[in-house]
Amino acid sequence: MPAAAGKRSGEAAAPHATRTAQAAPGGNSASLGIYAKYIDAPGAAEGSKAFSPMAARVQRFALQSVARQLLPESRTAKCLRWRAYNQDVKVWKAVEHGTAHYSGLQTCASVWACPVCAAKIAERRRAEVLAAMTTHQARGGNVHLLTLTVPHQRGDDLVQLLALQAKALKRFWDDRQVKAVFADMGNIGQIRATEVTHGRRSARNNGWHPHYHVLLFTGSGVDLGRFDKPQRRDWEVRLYLVWARVCEAVGLGVPSIAHGLKLDPGDKASQYVAKWGLEHELTYGHIKKGKAGGETPFDLLRSVLADQDDKQAAALFREYAQAFKGKRQLHWSHGLKAQLAIEEASDQEVVERLEEGAELLGQLTPDQWRDVLKVEARATVLEIAARCSWHHVQRFLWLIEGAHKGVQVPPDVLHEARQLLLSDRGK
């Protein structure tokens, strides 16, 4: 709709707001609205450590706004901000989950850069992987988890590291001995997940750590009695020797014997899949300093949210987003989906799918939506919608009315209004 596309004046003002805020004491950017106010104290805001789907959703919106600051030209910068062609912004409540969501907005479907889309896609992909494993196991099969890492150090260029790693992997799959081990294991196919962490907070900062987790669908037509520990160790050593050889051949150096390649049995595979795509949900709030696994890309966003002066995290996230753009996060080997009867759906289809069993609460006018964007209150509107009523949402919209035209709504006032409305629920 031309009216929506033409009126971007509120968005254009954001860089100015950022500059003003950075000069102010405290350092938190006003362009992130009220997020920084309460993200700092998740325990206080949410009352307990219990997992709350709505609290997780609020955090994802906050992190998405950070991603928008860092990647202003990306589709993620428009995601769930710009209206979809000829659509109204509507708010829905999923009664069963106690959550609320929007419709009528553009979505970016980026698994790498967008915390909101990534979570939605991961939920669906995790269910697909679990369904595939269940089907395979019901047919008497096994699933092994193969983890492949490469040597890396601080200063490595991520794009180059990924290219070399992919080259090594190609040689690995094509290797005669790898094929022989997979045949021994009765492997019918695999699902590969690509992940990356950064070790800047560890004592020995060794930079980007891209790695693969591969689920091997094993045990087809082979004697399950042979899947004991010594046998697995034998396969592991044989696979490691090839992995070490191909890594060295492509110029990556020799991966460590301890961590370069690991072959784990089914229980580890199940644990891995159960947590896949949830790592950013499990560490609500602050970043664990110096944690062994390194920081995930969304940890970097969290770091910028907590401290706008963390220029290193900002630069690393930009480098990461650029390097991973267009890459596949999960790769199923040819024919595996069909064998295990898993339906094909693109990332875009997944994010556009409406949640089932949701009821329509109400609709925002284009001007109201511009006000919400201006004060970065997308998540607040959803919180109030999820926990209170549409009437409460309207009170909030009334409070911020005119924000996109320059009416000042200080973050403190927003924060208090949010607290007040949320504590007023049920009245």
Q: In the bound complex, what is the minimum distance in angstroms from residue 118's beta carbon to Zn ion? A: 8
Contact 384, 426 (CB under 8 A): no
Closer residue to Zn ion, CB minimum distance, 62 or 108: 108
Contact 130, 198 (CB under 8 A): no
Closer residue to Zn ion, CB minimum distance, 54 or 108: 108
Contacts of 261 (CB under 8 A, 6+ apart): 146, 147, 148, 149, 236, 239, 240, 243, 244, 255
Closer residue to Zn ion, CB minimum distance, 29 or 110: 110
Closer residue to Zn ion, CB minimum distance, 74 or 147: 74
Q: What is the CA radius of gyration of the chain?
A: 24
Nearest 5 degrees, angle CA 417-CA 422-CA 423? 100
Residue 145 structure tokens: 């988890």
Q: In the bound complex, what is the minimum distance in angstroms from residue 61's beta carbon to Zn ion? A: 10
Binding stretches for Zn ion (CB under 5 A): 79, 108, 114, 117
**What gap in Å lies between CA 193 and CA 334, rounded to an integer?**
15
Closer residue to Zn ion, CB minimum distance, 79 or 375: 79
Residue 346 structure tokens: 């693109």
**What gap in Å lies between CA 191 and CA 197, rounded to an integer?**
20
Q: In the bound complex, what is the minimum distance in angstroms from residue 195's beta carbon to Zn ion? A: 19
Q: In the bound complex, what is the minimum distance in angstroms from residue 119's beta carbon to Zn ion? A: 10
Residue 184 structure tokens: 């021994």
Closer residue to Zn ion, CB minimum distance, 108 or 358: 108
First to last CA, the chain: 38
Q: In the bound complex, what is the minimum distance in angstroms from residue 355's beta carbon to Zn ion? A: 16
| Range 384-387, long-range pairs (CB < 8 A, 24+ positions) | 384/418, 384/421, 384/422, 385/91, 385/93, 385/100, 385/361, 386/54, 386/93, 386/98, 386/99, 386/100, 387/54, 387/98, 387/422, 387/425
Q: In the bound complex, what is the minimum distance in angstroms from residue 301's beta carbon to Zn ion? A: 13
Q: In the bound complex, what is the minimum distance in angstroms from residue 214's beta carbon to Zn ion? A: 27
Residue 389 structure tokens: 């009523």
Q: In the bound complex, what is the minimum distance in angstroms from residue 109's beta carbon to Zn ion? A: 6
Closer residue to Zn ion, CB minimum distance, 79 or 393: 79
Q: In the bound complex, what is the minimum distance in angstroms from residue 35's beta carbon to Zn ion? A: 17
Which residue's structure tokens are 């200063």? 155
Closer residue to Zn ion, CB minimum distance, 121 or 143: 121
Closest listed residue to residue 60, CA positions, set 378, 369, 320, 338: 378
Contact 415, 37 (CB under 8 A): yes
Closer residue to Zn ion, CB minimum distance, 123 or 174: 123
